[in-house]
Amino acid sequence: MISKIKPHHKEKMAYVYLRQSTMGQVLHHQESTERQYALAERAESYGWMPENIRILDGDLGISGSRMTNRQDFKTLVADVSLNKVGAIFALEASRLSRSSSDWNRLFELCSLTDTLIIDEDGFYDPGQFNDQLLLGLKGMMCEAELQNSGREALGPI
């Protein structure tokens, strides 16, 4: 898996994207926050220089269902589109966005700019068909989870 990381990826920035859906999660699940910050060390262990690792933590406590209020997600998408990013590190790739349109836009841009997605499950190259399938499944599961959690909040039908 680590063989997917090429020298040209490490010449660009590694972005560590942190997100938890609510401030309650941020306050009461600090272990998750710490695990997300530790992804910067993981990027360094894979060969990125510390000065080439950028932590995006401004979206902590903001729902991933829309890009609207997530300034760091907007920064991430913009910088990927400008070919500045070699890899995006996230605890779980599906946590990058809960909106299928935002999710698909980001991964299409990653495919076009040869940007890797790295999470606890593995290394993904959105330009490779098998990785596209896996990321697509992760995105669909994430959206289904969001839809189901919305139904549960409404109570039984």
The question of whether 21 is a catalytic residue gets the answer: yes
Instruction: Classify each residue of 23-59 as buried b or exposed e, where b means 16 or more C-beta atoms within 10 Å of its C-beta.
Output: eeebeeeeebbeebeebbeebeebebeeebbbbbebb
Instruction: Kindly report the backbone phi and psi dihedral angles of residue 29, in degrees, each rounded to the nearest multiple of 5, phi listed first.
Output: -130, 60
Chain centroid to CA 145: 17
Residue 71: CB atoms within 10 A of its CB come to 13
H or E element, residue 112: helix 100-113
Q: Is 18 helix (H, G, I), strand (E, B) or coil?
A: coil
* Token duo for residue 87: 């890899």
Helix (H) or strand (E) segment spanning residue 89 = strand 85-89
Catalytic position from the list 21, 94, 97, 99: 21
Q: Which residues are catalytic?
A: 21
